[in-house]
Amino acid sequence: MNRPDGDPDGPAVQTSGRPSPGRWFVRQQRLLVTGRWFLLAGSVGVMAGVGAILFFSLSHWLFETLMGGVADYDPIVPRGESGDPGDQEYKYGLVTISPLWCVLLPALGGLVVGWIVFTWAPEAQGHGTDGAVDAYHNQQGRIGARVIWVKTLASAITLGTGGSGGREGPIAQIGAGFGSWFATRLRLSNRERRVLLAVGMGAGVSAIFRAPLAGALFAAEILYRDPDFESEVIMPSLLGSIISYSIFTGWSGQGSLFKTDLLPNAELLVFDSPIELLPYLALGLILVAFVMLYVKGFYGIEHAFRRLPIKPHFKPMIGGALTGGLALALWTATGDGRVLSLLSFGYAAIQEPFDLLQGDVAWGLAGVFLLVAVGKIVTTGLTIGSGGSAGVFGPSMVIGGAVGGAVGIAFNLLWPDIAPHPGAFAIVGMAGFFTGCANPPISTLLMVSEITGDYSLLVPTMGCCAITFSICRKTTIYGSQVQARKDSPAHRGDFIHDVLEGIWVSDLVENLRPPQTIGASTSLRELVRIVPEGHSQYYPVVDERAALVGIISLNDVRRYLHDDTVWDVLVALDIMTTPVIAVTPTDDLSSALRRFTQKNIGELPVVDPEDTSRLLGMLRRHDVIAAYNALVAPVDPA
């Protein structure tokens, strides 16, 4: 629909070399708004970066003290964390642990976590990203300040005592909590609080995984199941992620989490021929089955724990004991230390496929990797589903990497020309698996590339992610995700405005109410007589030239009904509201509706766009709503 003035693009642009004072003012306002968001997002980035350092340090100190010092467990860690240049040979299968403490430590950790969480902040239980997503959609971006500290401590204890989980969930909720707290302290609007919550979530993930671009996009993409982005989050999140990443890597050192470029077989982790796509596409189909098992198993275990007739404080202890018991049983049965990746982070299952030499590839190793994948699905459900506190992104990487490694070994043994190294399949498997179970394909592609420092497998990774995303669209590990922006309670009302942008005030000219004006010099005594007898709650005030100078509402007059001493002293000019909130015939109804809600008023004066003091009529709010209803739900004349 064209604009009534015949100009679909709005007012003509001034050709004068000098900007008008109005345009200069608008530019200054935009600069102030931009600078304000730089300051807000940057501040949240600082908090998230420092929070990531504290959480990382605490969880690793507890792990080394308890699992290392008490349980005598010394697992393989990613080469990017260990500082190893790539020439050290890791003995993955020879990792050991104290059988007693393998079960006892996760159980004791669960007992402590259960008491902390269910005493101080029950919302800190489970995987934190889902809590942050729920707060964005349903809580106006509010996360209690105590959640930050409870989540930090509970997650560090869970991971430090062997509970199966990752760092992403805790640091996402911790960073989101900082953003929410900061916005609340500054008395920002609900919309601004939501944006800063997402900035904190992305900044935390960016720091802990050393993946700034992926973390920023993760915050905008993880909110929805459909391939939809929260556009208003992206630019502030980019700034917050840059700052948090810089702070964290300034402390921990630069570099990716998993180093693949320094290994002897790094030249094999590439994509050389289109025919190589075939095994990667097959991997995508295999991953779909594991995604379904992971999501259904996770929520099945969570449901089972909810039905247990005991206090929730003790459920994480049971989950921890079962986690340690399963890891111990598989280690005892196989004698292979790789299965101990079921405990805590489990990143050895990702690093090993990169390290494999040709002589190490064997069918038995593929079986161990599959055992790790299935076991990690179970232990993650037991740890987090019982009420423990940790993330599901890290386990997803382990499961996807282990499945990818197993499939890569199989294709390497059967068809070595198109599957030169299993490590490439581990990289693709990580991305494909998390895309399938969480629905963020773009940020996951970048995340896996950034944490491995390798973009050479982008094409097969895209193909694998496309398969898992397309088939698993209705499956998600994050229950608080909504389908798309239009389904989010945070955006309720936004899409009414979009529809109304195609209708102009002039389209409702027949519905305009003729204004009942009041002279600026009319006494309050006369107003007390006129207004109650009128048929409106709003009366435009005009001067001797009939020019609009203000507006009086029924409530303005009611204020003086019980004080007749001023009825002959005050006139309309004294009690009217100014400046007048008005619309012109060339305004769309979306703009009109925003002005109605600005002060919660029922009528707006319609003025001449060339002379805003010339009153044309009164636009009623219910006429705008009626126009919207007629557009989206037209009445069938039959």
The rounded distance, in Å, linking the Cα atoms of 438 and 431 is 11
Task: Give the β-pairing of 603-607 and 518-519.
Answer: unpaired
Q: In the CATH scheme, what architecture does the domain 494-632 have?
A: Roll (3.10)
- CA 373 – CA 359 distance, rounded (Å): 23
Contact call for residues 279 and 415 (beta carbons, < 8 A): yes
Displacement of CA 393 from its chain's centroid (Å): 13
Whether residue 8 is predicted with pLDDT greater than 70 in this model: the reply is no
**Is the pLDDT reported for residue 104 higher than 90?**
yes
23 confidence band (pLDDT: 50, 70, 90): very low
**Domain-wise residue ranges, the chain:** 32-490, 494-632
pLDDT band (50, 70, 90) for residue 495? low
Rounded to whole angstroms, the Cα distance separating 139 from 119 reads 21
287 three-class SS: helix
Residue 150 dihedral angles phi and psi, to the nearest 5°: -65, -45
23-27, 63-67, 114-118 — which is least confidently predicted?
Answer: 23-27
464/444 Cα distance (integer angstroms): 12
The answer to whether 254 touches 216, Cβ cutoff 8 Å, is: no
* Angle at alpha carbon of residue 213, lines to 212 and 217, rounded to 5°: 115
**Mean pLDDT of the residues in the chain:** 85
Residues present in the chain in total: 638
CA distances, 210 to each of 45, 171, 235, 239, 249 (Å) = 14, 13, 18, 15, 7
pLDDT of 265 over the 60 cut: yes
Is the pLDDT at 378 greater than 60? The verdict is yes
Residue 180 is predicted with a pLDDT of: 95
Percent of the chain residues topping a pLDDT of 70:
88
Higher pLDDT, 575 or 13: 575
pLDDT tens sequence across 400-457: 999 999 999 999 999 988 888 888 899 899 999 999 999 999 999 898 888 877 788 8
Return the pLDDT at 414.
Answer: 92
Which range, 29-33, 47-51, 572-576, 609-613, is most confident?
Answer: 47-51
DSSP β-ladder status, 615-620 and 538-542? unpaired
CATH 3.40.1350.10, applies to 32-490: no
Whole-number pLDDT of residue 9: 38
User: Rounded to an integer, what distance in angstroms lies between the CA atom of residue 8 and that of residue 413?
Assistant: 65
The token pair that represents 636 in the structure block:
């069938």
Q: What integer is the mean pLDDT of 89-118?
A: 88
Give one DSSP letter per residue of 361-399, joined into a string: --HHHHHHHHHHHHHHHHHHHHHHHTT-B-BSHHHHHHH
Which residue did the predictor score with more confidence, 19 or 421? Answer: 421
According to DSSP, the residues that pair with 504 across neighbouring strands are 588
Of 48-62, 84-98, 315-329, 539-553, the least confident: 84-98
CA angle 490, 598, 511 (to 5 degrees): 110
Q: With 70 as the cut, is the pLDDT of residue 513 above it?
A: yes
